[in-house]
Structure 1
Amino acid sequence: MNKDWMGKYSGSSSLGLRPSSTEQVSQILAYCSLRRLALVPQGGNTGLVGGSVPVFDEVVLNMSAMNKILSFDEVSGVLVCQAGCILQTLEEHVSQRGYIMPLDLGAKGSCHIGGNLSTNAGGLRLLRYGSLHGSVLGVEAVLPDGTVLDLLRQLRKDNTGYDLKQLFIGSEGTLGVITAVAIQCAPKPASVQLAFLSCPSFAAVQQVLRHAKQSLGEILSAVEFLDQESMAMATQYLPGVSNPLAQAGPDAAQQQQQGGGGEQGGPFYMVVETQGSHAGHDKEKLEGFLEAVMADGSVADGTLAESQAQAAAIWRVREGITESLVRRGAVYKYDLSMPTHKMYELVQLVRQQVAHLPGVKAVGYGHVGDGNLHLNVSSPSGYSDELEQLLEPFVYEWTAQQSGSISAEHGIGLMKAPVLGYSKSSEAVNLMQRLKVLMDPHQILNPYKVLPGVEHMGRVEMYDDR
């Protein structure tokens, strides 16, 4: 309750509440508003930016008891459920009825759909299904004064005034507590094909992405990448995980021993997934794609998953990187979006920044299909002011210079609230603050998160012209 799963953020709350209904949430918020008691909504607590734990002694509102599936329309594919439902549970429910959830996350076994909405979680298949801003049809939310706002519509088209539900998607529990959601599910694909590839450089990764978009366009569902250092972390710290390309070659083996050496940090690995309606057609297209990228030298080696077990083993490598890093020690996590051709340049620059620190390693992986880099810096000796000062504000400044975003999908939380100005103008931040004051005049909901405090407003002004 008081500590995030990475052990980086913690508070000292002595009161946790676990409501089982919207009415109870309403009563709790009305009471907290009357007594000016700060409150932190908490779902599965799988966040990475300190957004779901108290900073001091705030009341923790745990949503895990609100876990009922309310309805599912097998014609339209619209699911209505409470906010405390675990994502994997929802996936299993709709899968039995011929559908899939429009998002897939490594933490799906413990994250809550309400938390997913609150952070506008992206995940592995945003390339195919888009963000939650498009998939969510309606929400029910409780405002800070206890007012229940019923926006739980199940319509694809509703053009009546302001689209208020969008205020709560990505607001991280600072404007209201999401209690229920209506979400559009996608038809379950009849065919899922998966390829795992090795590329000699990040330039080759970009070429493969271009090929994939051109030749697999209508069935392409995910394009992921990871560098050699990420592969080394996953295979070293996760039991039973191995490189799906059993023979990576002498160059790859040597570079793994050297910690991902080489000017480009190669080799690189890619996961390319397709989802379609005809297995024969889809597999033929994927095989043709693989032949083309191997012929032009973009791919040095590759394999196609021939079973669900092989596919799961491939995804385990990619999804297990975060877990492996936490097992190694302290992790500084940066979730960034920027032009694709710039993504790996930042990883190399950070490696230079920290090269003199024993045991510190920088790894790069993420959703290359939508320009989302996960830059992680691992420190077995723990968090330190020296390392943090080497990383910040350098990472944020460099990202801002590329017109990128300091948060692609993990949210702002406590970690990035002071540096929101690197991605948003002062006018935009001021408008957000005005909305916060309007909806939460007593500032009781998830304080210290998302928006910079007064002491940080100078930084917002400083980077206004970026």
Structure 2
Amino acid sequence: MFRATSRLHTVCQAARSTLALRPVKYAPAYKAVSLTMFNTSRLYATSGSTKVVPLTAEKYPGFNRNEQFKKLEDSDVDHFKAIVGETGLIYNNEDDLAAFNTDWMNKYRGQSQLVLKPKTTQQVADILKYCTEQSIAVVPQGGNTGLVGGSIPVFDEVVLSLQSMNSIRSFDDVSGILTADAGCILEGLDNWLNEKGYMMPLDLGAKGSCHIGGNLATNAGGLRLLRYGSLHGTVLGLEVVLPDGSILDSMSTLRKDNTGYDLKQLFIGSEGTIGVITGVSILTPRRPKAVNVALLGLNTYEDVQKAFKQSRSELSEILSAFEFWDNNALQIYKKHSDAKPLMENEYPFYVLIETSGSNKDHDDEKLTNYLENMMVDEVAQDGVVAQDETQIKNIWGVREGFTEALGKEAAVYKYDVSMPVNKINDCLEDMRQHLKDGGVFGQPDSPIIDVVGYGHVGDGNLHLNIAANRVDKRVPALIEPYLFEWVAKQNGSISAEHGLGVAKNQFLSYSKSDGMIKMMKTMKNLLDPKGVLNPYKYLPSQ
């Protein structure tokens, strides 16, 4: 692994000898996994907690069960059993239901007594039709890797799990268009495509457990949105079951179709509140032949911005990711990881740069020139470049390890916001000062350990995390709605990619106007007049 020191020898010598890159031909460093993988134990292991999770309904005192929703009766269970079979449901078994009632961060817990696991779109349709007729509330659930409680019941809603719908329907190796069931694991799809020279346009830290349907329902962003764009652009068609049991089949494989309303866009990011996604048609890019990953240490956030601006100019078409984190994030990661340091010295900020292309020599030269300029201009103080697949995995492992590390703290308050790139560090600094002023940070007995920042500079997405050594009621009261007000003043979004769920729905007005919220409620009432799909979430209750 290359290490560039702050002064090196001479710029020329540093750039042409020490910066001798050996880009690797891209191939996963992991074995292919089954598309049916659903590793609940893995999800729970990341939290590092064995405490009893409080009920969501108790945690948010303003919630009251909608008495218009029917409570399950034996006749309802018998009806569902006739649809999905004896093995297609879990009923009144607390141990087996626990994984579906609790999120992986041990933050939300519901009270569902029934999980349904349909295997076909028609079974989903039959279930939703009956639930609407009987006014039975339903929570669609994918891999259950969300962070805002969107896939967890609040009360006794029936859980509709898509994990058994996990087949690849077709793949066109000329156009790269994949059609698949919504319950396919993201990493499984990516491994399957790898054998054909393609890849999924989406990459997440939770890729080993999250479902593609859940990714669509939450409009997940991920690590390479900078290169491949959002799901609103890569998804060509959807199959969606509406609350009344109607199947909306828009599984188009056309790149261009200029006829009528683009209805699929309604369901991308709707969090299962107006329909259940059961199938997807998505455009997959060719897998790059050469991938390089570099990590730089920088002294200021201004240097982070300079590095990003220059990467857009000098790396342009081969730039596939530009991630950043602060030293606080690194310290949390080191605390809960035995991984060896990637650099001898520590710096206030770090950026991870990934390039991917089809010409090794071309990519080598562009990245070498870029890194040389970063050192000459004293933007970067230190750096490493991965020399093989293992080192690529090690560098990415730091970036992808922050969520798991933070989950091992006694308490963590997680926020996912977007704003102009030049405001990201201002947000972190302002929150630190605000918590100090509030008396919960900076004193010997303070509950707050520190404010941690990392995220996707390329799309202005900050993951702001506040790590604490204990739960303290003063902390959330200081954060909310202060943070959302701050973000709103920057014309930002209170949720960049995690969604709204039960955590942020009441704060939607900080990102959307009254007119837009009214229109959203109109759409919800039109498609789900009884409100049975994912109630108590997404939209403000008042």
Q: Report if the CA contact (8 A) 1:360-1:377 is conserved.
A: yes
Amino acid corresponding to residue 230 of structure 1 in structure 2: A
1:447 partnered with 2:535: yes
Q: Report if the CA contact (8 A) 1:234-1:241 is conserved.
A: no
Equivalent in the alignment of 1:398: 486
Equivalent in the alignment of 1:7: 106
- How far does the alpha carbon of each residue in 1:103-134 deviate from its partner, in whole angstroms, 9 at most, with x for none? 10000000000000000000000000000000
- Secondary structure, counterpart of 2:408 in structure 1: helix
Q: Report if the CA contact (8 A) 1:243-1:317 is conserved.
A: no
Question: What CA distance in whole angstroms lies between the structure 2 residues aligned with 1:156 and 1:142?
Answer: 23
Q: Report if the CA contact (8 A) 2:448-2:466 is conserved.
A: no
- How far does the alpha carbon of each residue in 1:40-82 deviate from its partner, in whole angstroms, 9 at most, with x for none? 0000000011100001110000110000011111001001000
Q: Report if the CA contact (8 A) 1:54-1:60 is conserved.
A: yes
Q: Identity of aligned pairs, percent?
A: 54
Amino acid corresponding to residue 521 of structure 2 in structure 1: Q
Bigger drift between 429-438 and 342-351 goes to: 342-351
Q: Report if the CA contact (8 A) 1:241-1:316 is conserved.
A: no
Question: What CA distance in whole angstroms lies between the structure 2 residues aligned with 1:53 and 1:193?
Answer: 39
- Secondary structure, counterpart of 2:101 in structure 1: coil
Unaligned runs of 5+ in 1: 253-265, 455-466
1:381 partnered with 2:470: yes
After TM superposition, the structure 1 = structure 2 runs for residues 191-270 of structure 1, keeping only pairs within 5 Å, are 191-238=290-337, 240-245=338-343, 247-248=344-345, 252=346, 267-270=348-351
Q: Report if the CA contact (8 A) 1:13-1:57 is conserved.
A: yes
Equivalent in the alignment of 2:207: 108
Q: Report if the CA contact (8 A) 1:2-1:54 is conserved.
A: yes
Equivalent in the alignment of 1:410: 498
Q: TM-score, normalised by structure 1?
A: 0.92
Equivalent in the alignment of 2:226: 127
Deviation at 1:359, TM superposition (A): 4.3
Q: Report if the CA contact (8 A) 1:231-1:243 is conserved.
A: no
- Secondary structure, counterpart of 1:289 in structure 2: helix
- How far does the alpha carbon of each residue in 1:315-373 deviate from its partner, in whole angstroms, 9 at most, with x for none? 00000000000012222111111011110111111112332423432100000111100
1:290 partnered with 2:379: no
1:98 partnered with 2:176: no
Equivalent in the alignment of 2:164: 65
Question: What CA distance in whole angstroms lies between the structure 2 residues aligned with 1:158 and 1:14?
Answer: 44
- How far does the alpha carbon of each residue in 1:146-187 deviate from its partner, in whole angstroms, 9 at most, with x for none? 111101111100111000000110000001000000000001
Question: What CA distance in whole angstroms lies between the structure 2 residues aligned with 1:22 and 1:203?
Answer: 51
After TM superposition, the structure 1 = structure 2 runs for residues 267-416 of structure 1, keeping only pairs within 5 Å, are 267-354=348-435, 355-356=441-442, 357-382=446-471, 384-416=472-504
Question: What CA distance in whole angstroms lies between the structure 1 residues aligned with 2:321 and 2:426?
Answer: 22
Question: What CA distance in whole angstroms lies between the structure 1 residues aligned with 2:136 and 2:286?
Answer: 44
Equivalent in the alignment of 2:256: 157
- How far does the alpha carbon of each residue in 1:263-286 deviate from its partner, in whole angstroms, 9 at most, with x for none? xxx510110001111111101111
Equivalent in the alignment of 2:272: 173
Amino acid corresponding to residue 316 of structure 1 in structure 2: G
Deviation at 1:242, TM superposition (A): 3.2
Equivalent in the alignment of 2:138: 39
Question: What CA distance in whole angstroms lies between the structure 2 residues aligned with 1:242 and 1:230?
Answer: 16
Question: What CA distance in whole angstroms lies between the structure 2 residues aligned with 1:353 and 1:316?
Answer: 31
Question: What CA distance in whole angstroms lies between the structure 2 residues aligned with 1:388 and 1:359?
Answer: 11
Equivalent in the alignment of 1:189: 288
- How far does the alpha carbon of each residue in 1:197-217 deviate from its partner, in whole angstroms, 9 at most, with x for none? 000010100000011000000
- Secondary structure, counterpart of 1:435 in structure 2: helix
Amino acid corresponding to residue 294 of structure 1 in structure 2: M
Amino acid corresponding to residue 360 of structure 1 in structure 2: I
Question: What CA distance in whole angstroms lies between the structure 1 residues aligned with 2:411 and 2:537?
Answer: 22
Q: Report if the CA contact (8 A) 1:420-1:451 is conserved.
A: yes
Deviation at 1:448, TM superposition (A): 1.2
Question: What CA distance in whole angstroms lies between the structure 1 residues aligned with 2:536 and 2:375?
Answer: 50
Question: What CA distance in whole angstroms lies between the structure 1 residues aligned with 2:321 and 2:160?
Answer: 35
Deviation at 1:303, TM superposition (A): 1.0
- Secondary structure, counterpart of 1:187 in structure 2: coil
Amino acid corresponding to residue 538 of structure 2 in structure 1: V
Equivalent in the alignment of 1:437: 525
Q: Report if the CA contact (8 A) 1:4-1:53 is conserved.
A: yes
Deviation at 1:15, TM superposition (A): 0.7
Amino acid corresponding to residue 379 of structure 2 in structure 1: S
Q: Report if the CA contact (8 A) 1:15-1:59 is conserved.
A: yes
Question: What CA distance in whole angstroms lies between the structure 2 residues aligned with 1:371 and 1:289?
Answer: 22
Let me know the Cα RMSD of the aligned residues. 0.9
Question: What CA distance in whole angstroms lies between the structure 1 residues aligned with 2:462 and 2:364?
Answer: 28
Equivalent in the alignment of 2:60: none
- Secondary structure, counterpart of 2:316 in structure 1: coil
Deviation at 1:302, TM superposition (A): 0.5
**Match of residue 426, structure 1, among 514, 517, 522:** 514
Question: What CA distance in whole angstroms lies between the structure 2 residues aligned with 1:400 and 1:242?
Answer: 40
Q: TM-score, normalised by structure 2?
A: 0.79
Question: What CA distance in whole angstroms lies between the structure 2 residues aligned with 1:380 and 1:157?
Answer: 53
Q: Report if the CA contact (8 A) 2:447-2:469 is conserved.
A: no
- Secondary structure, counterpart of 2:238 in structure 1: strand
Runs of 4+ with deviation above 6 angstroms: none
Unaligned runs of 5+ in 2: 1-99, 436-440
Question: What CA distance in whole angstroms lies between the structure 2 residues aligned with 1:242 and 1:82?
Answer: 40
Equivalent in the alignment of 2:29: none
- How far does the alpha carbon of each residue in 1:69-98 deviate from its partner, in whole angstroms, 9 at most, with x for none? 111110010010000000000000111101
Q: Report if the CA contact (8 A) 1:235-1:241 is conserved.
A: yes
- Secondary structure, counterpart of 1:20 in structure 2: coil
- Secondary structure, counterpart of 1:360 in structure 2: strand
Question: What CA distance in whole angstroms lies between the structure 1 residues aligned with 2:419 and 2:357?
Answer: 29
Deviation at 1:241, TM superposition (A): 2.1
Q: Report if the CA contact (8 A) 2:447-2:470 is conserved.
A: no
Deviation at 1:243, TM superposition (A): 2.8
